[in-house]
Amino acid sequence: MKNIVVLVSGGGTNLQALIDAQESGIIKNGRITCVISSKPGVYALERAAKHGISSRVIPRKDYPDIISYSQAVLDAILEEKADLVVYAGFMTILDELVVRAMPNKMMNVHPALIPSFCGKGYYGLKVHEEALKKGVKLTGATVHFVTEVCDGGPIILQKAVEVMDDDTPETLQKRVMEQAEWKLLPKAVSLFCEDRLEVRDSRVYIK
Ligand code: GAR
């Protein structure tokens, strides 16, 4: 059974999708052992508590720089004996010292079809605002391994979602979450826990 540590910063609907998938048996050979939040008081922490999952708060604002913050998060990940780390709406870009310690063992869900609308500065609603500004007819979500390049790691799963003429960033975000993120993330996590993901030459193959 693999230990899954989930990193959050906000509402935690993706964390909820993982908890629901765990409870309905969709995630095979893994369980969420700890939730780590970069902010105190966020709703994601309540979601964890409601389901008896332990949590830690490591506030970004308590650390003077990203290196010391990344080291604190890495220490917690190692203490929790994490086999997999999932960024589920985690809004801090950690230093590469974390990636180096957990190569191809960290995954992120991003609310667009990478390489569109991604990279530094593209997070949360901003991603959907930019998609609407550009006028794309399709957007979606991507689950990828985390590397030292922001949103640049090997792609595990992607799903396209239609953009409607009357979409606002909020309505588009909701559709992308419902139709793509909440389905893709539990699926990718289960594939990892079942040892079915193989990374070769920056590409992910599903065995
Ligand atoms: C999600 O849409 C997630 O994909 C996005 O933030 C939202 C968090 O929602 N993440 C990023 O933009 C990371 N670049 P949640 O807290 O309800 O899961």
CA distances to 54, 79, 142 from 190, rounded to whole Å, are: 20, 22, 16
**Cα 89 to middle of ligand 1, angstroms:** 4
Nearest CA to ligand 1 atom 1: 89
Residue 54: predicted pLDDT: 98
* Ligand 1 pocket check for 13: Cβ under 6 Å: yes
pLDDT band with cut points at 50, 70 and 90 for residue 171: very high
* Pocket probe mutation, ligand 1, options 127, 143, 158, max atoms within 8 Å of Cβ: 127
When the candidates are 3.30.1360.120, 1.10.287.10, 3.40.50.170, 3.40.50.2300, the CATH number that belongs to 2-206 is: 3.40.50.170
**What would the two tokens of residue 27 be?**
């995630």
User: Which residue CA neighbors atom 14 of ligand 1 most closely?
Assistant: 123
Q: Rounded to an integer, what distance in angstroms lies between the CA atom of residue 112 and that of residue 90?
A: 15
Residue 95: predicted pLDDT: 96
- Residue whose token pair is 């994490």: 82
169 lines ligand 1 (CB under 6 A): no
pLDDT at 177: 98
Nearest to 153 by CA among 87, 80, 89, 65: 87
Ligand 1 centre and the CA of 168: distance in Å? 17
**123 CB under 6 A from ligand 1?**
yes
Alpha helices, DSSP H, located in 80-200: 96-101, 125-134, 169-176, 182-193
Active site residue 110: yes
Q: How far is the CA of 196 from the centre of ligand 1 (A)?
A: 25
> How far is ligand 1, taken at its centre, from the CA of residue 72, in Å?
22
Ligand 1 pocket, mutate which of 13, 36, 90, 109 (most atoms under 8 A from CB): 109
- What tens digit of pLDDT does each residue of 79-117 get? 999 999 999 999 999 999 999 999 999 999 999 999 999
pTM of the predicted model over 0.95: yes
186 lines ligand 1 (CB under 6 A): no
Domain extent listing, the chain: 2-206
Non-local (6+) Cβ contacts of 162 within 8 A are: 137, 138, 175
Average pLDDT for 48-72: 98
Task: Tell me what pLDDT residue 178 has.
Answer: 98
127 lines ligand 1 (CB under 6 A): yes
Q: Which residue's C-alpha comes closest to atom 13 of ligand 1?
A: 123
Average pLDDT over residues 179-188: 98
pLDDT in tens, 13-46: 999 999 999 999 999 999 999 999 999 999 999 9
